[in-house]
């Protein structure tokens, strides 16, 4: 899927065009890659943290032209560690994509409940499925 970020991604504001594809061999993980060879690995945060909540503000809904919650893809960027157990995910600033028009934005949550480095592998999870 090709995605256009009108304002880029924080830290990479000059990059606007990205592709999002499944990571080869594992459809749980996504590769977000720019035309400039900058890439991020991401995952659907709801697959890991079922109690995760995100409430988009009116500005973001308007900017991304979202008409229905069913049109939204949410991904959390991973910070890769030496092992999956050391890998963390950014729940504070998820990538939000309107899958109908392929507009995307990194949305920074104002909630103090989420940080930029939550464990990818939760201790109570069975890691054999990853």
pLDDT in tens, 63-98: 999 999 999 999 999 999 999 889 999 999 999 999
Does 127 score more than 80 pLDDT?
Answer: no
Residue 20: the pLDDT is: 96
How far apart are the C-alpha atoms of 58 and 32, rounded to whole Å? Answer: 25
Q: How many domains does the chain have?
A: 1
Domain that holds residue 35: 2-129
How far apart are the C-alpha atoms of 76 and 29, rounded to whole Å? Answer: 10
Closest CA to 109 of 52, 68, 63, 71: 52
How far apart are the C-alpha atoms of 29 and 121, rounded to whole Å? Answer: 13
Conformation bin of residue 82: beta by default, left when phi > 0, alpha when psi is -120 to 50: alpha
Residue 35: the pLDDT is: 87
Q: Which residues contact 71 (CB under 8 A, 6 or more apart)?
A: 98, 99, 100
Tens of pLDDT, residues 26-60: 889 999 999 888 999 999 999 999 999 999 999 99
> Residue 6 belongs to a domain with what CATH number?
2.30.290.10
């Amino acid at each position: 899927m090709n995605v256009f970020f009108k304002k880029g991604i924080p830290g990479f504001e000059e990059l606007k065009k990205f592709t999002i594809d499944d990571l080869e061999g594992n459809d749980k993980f996504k590769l977000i890659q720019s035309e400039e060879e900058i890439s991020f690995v991401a995952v659907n945060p709801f697959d890991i943290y079922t109690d995760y909540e995100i409430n988009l503000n009116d500005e973001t809904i308007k900017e991304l032209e979202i008409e229905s919650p069913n049109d939204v893809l949410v991904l959390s960027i991973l910070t890769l560690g030496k092992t999956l157990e050391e890998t963390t995910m950014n729940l504070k600033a998820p990538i939000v994509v309107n899958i109908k028009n392929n507009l995307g934005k990194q949305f920074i949550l104002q909630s103090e409940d989420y940080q930029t480095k939550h464990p990818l592998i939760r201790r109570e999870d069975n890691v054999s499925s990853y």
